[in-house]
Structure 1
């Protein structure tokens, strides 16, 4: 796996606010008729509702969170709802989806669907051994295109991708906004993945209809301890060492240099910003390697000119492209994806 792997998660939360209830009505933009059974959810969480027969919804966050609100319905374009505007005008109109022009554009695509499907499932779900417990139920709705000139594969979907994660016990509905895999071709002529970028919105629900199964709880706890979410929360609280994270660096950016163990305060500067976010600065531009008790490793590499990024109270960093990730942080993907409100009770 290349060290230039980039994972992009878009539309995540930047702050925590007061518990609020949002109400509104979803209409079809072309007919102004109410749309029942529209999914309305706080992005990246387990908090979602369905509109009634009159298109009405009421959704409350009891966890004092303030995240983007999303409306999603098959056959219509998903919409990020501006909550400030919603309070003044509680009418949301969803536009019918139109045929994607990419379906009729001729390209230099000489890859079979099965080949593209293999790359997509591996890079979208992740490289974890537990990916076998994660299944996409509507792959027929995902379209692919490969550009030989750009050495890039694209994926598109007009409706949410449904993932059944039997490892963590979640059903995930993922609205794919962008998906790209960039390849490199060494002299051997074999393609290998150099970069993966994807973005979208998601909502989680429990697979268990009643009480959450014990094995799901255990698996979630295991995943959480080596997750980017837990790392960022610990970094923001200056508790990396206490929470089992070990940091290593090299004297220079040369990967042939030996690693030496270091401390959080020698690598990062963490201060509270005016917007209640934690401002984190890398002291230099060298890669930081993270090690866990189970001997797995991850790394972080600053990708902003000022080496600065921000962490909110959920553990979500911004800007999303300000840090590059690899190792465990970059390879697990959807199979190890937890709701951003996980463990915040």
Structure 2
């Protein structure tokens, strides 16, 4: 995954070492009003550990994986907050302050550009974001209508963004991926594509044992290749 610098405001209370069970809880608020933010998505990047804040802005995550992790907090209309921490030295509680997203893409345009839709750019986006592997053919972006595109003619580049996490169903590996897309850009002159974001995986728990075994074999096979191949196949 390509990494972008992430602006975040995170207030940490005194830390404690938790050796037995790795749990993390806290509250999410609007930084301007100080009011709790309900319905915010809170998850550990690249895992299936996640939650949604309640009406008091509270969240709790349990059974966190060991090592260095990234806590991602997102909500429609707000900047994404990302905080790196060690699961071996967790804070007792966190308070996450969310800042309203500045709509610079809509309101501040120095270079002339054209807004275009999925019909024109959807195939290119899918091939670059999901890939063109056999596993990729069994993936579907369920909310592709949320993706918006802007083409800059002078610099011959394309950017894409979404106001909500992309929901990608992967029937090949038995995952639903929720991807917080932070950046997507194609430079046609340089023939380069770059995207950044934070993935959260939801396992298809309700399916039968036979199908789960097939998925486990497929995941092992995907992982046996390169990490990039694995990530693209999961996506």
RMSD: 3.0
TM-score relative to the length of structure 1: 0.55
How many angstroms apart in 1 are the aligned matches of 2:117 and 2:95? 44
Q: Which residue of 1 aligns with 2:192?
A: 195
Q: Which residue of 1 aligns with 2:136?
A: 131
The answer to whether 1:119 aligns with 2:119 is: no
Of 39, 42, 53 in structure 1, the residue corresponding to residue 41 of structure 2 is 39
**Could you say what secondary structure the match of 2:100 adopts?**
coil
Give the alignment of 1:143-292 within 5 angstroms.
143-184=148-189, 194-209=191-206, 213-228=212-227
Give the alignment of 1:98-113 within 5 angstroms.
98-102=102-106, 105=109, 107-109=112-114, 113=118
Of 335, 340, 343 in structure 1, the residue corresponding to residue 233 of structure 2 is 335
**Could you say what secondary structure the match of 1:200 adopts?**
strand
Q: Which has the larger radius of gyration?
A: 1
**Could you say what secondary structure the match of 2:169 adopts?**
strand
Flag the 1:25–1:108 CA change in 2: closer, same or farther, 3 A.
Answer: closer
Q: CA deviation at 1:41?
A: 1.1
Q: Which residue of 2 aligns with 1:76?
A: 78
Flag the 1:52–1:211 CA change in 2: closer, same or farther, 3 A.
Answer: farther
**Could you say what secondary structure the match of 1:34 adopts?**
coil
Q: Which residue of 2 aligns with 1:90?
A: 94
Q: CA deviation at 1:102?
A: 4.0
Q: CA deviation at 1:9?
A: 4.8
TM-score relative to the length of structure 2: 0.77
Q: CA deviation at 1:20?
A: 3.0
How many angstroms apart in 2 are the aligned matches of 1:112 and 1:210? 35
Q: Tell me, which stretches of 5 or more residues in structure 1 are unaligned?
A: 1-6, 12-16, 185-192, 229-328, 338-345
How many angstroms apart in 2 are the aligned matches of 1:111 and 1:49? 34
**Could you say what secondary structure the match of 1:156 adopts?**
strand
Q: Which residue of 2 aligns with 1:54?
A: 56
Flag the 1:62–1:174 CA change in 2: closer, same or farther, 3 A.
Answer: closer
Q: Tell me, which stretches of 5 or more residues in structure 2 are unaligned?
A: 6-17
**Could you say what secondary structure the match of 2:91 adopts?**
helix
8 Å CA contact retained: 1:108, 1:148:
yes
Q: Which residue of 2 aligns with 1:8?
A: 2
8 Å CA contact retained: 1:97, 1:158:
no
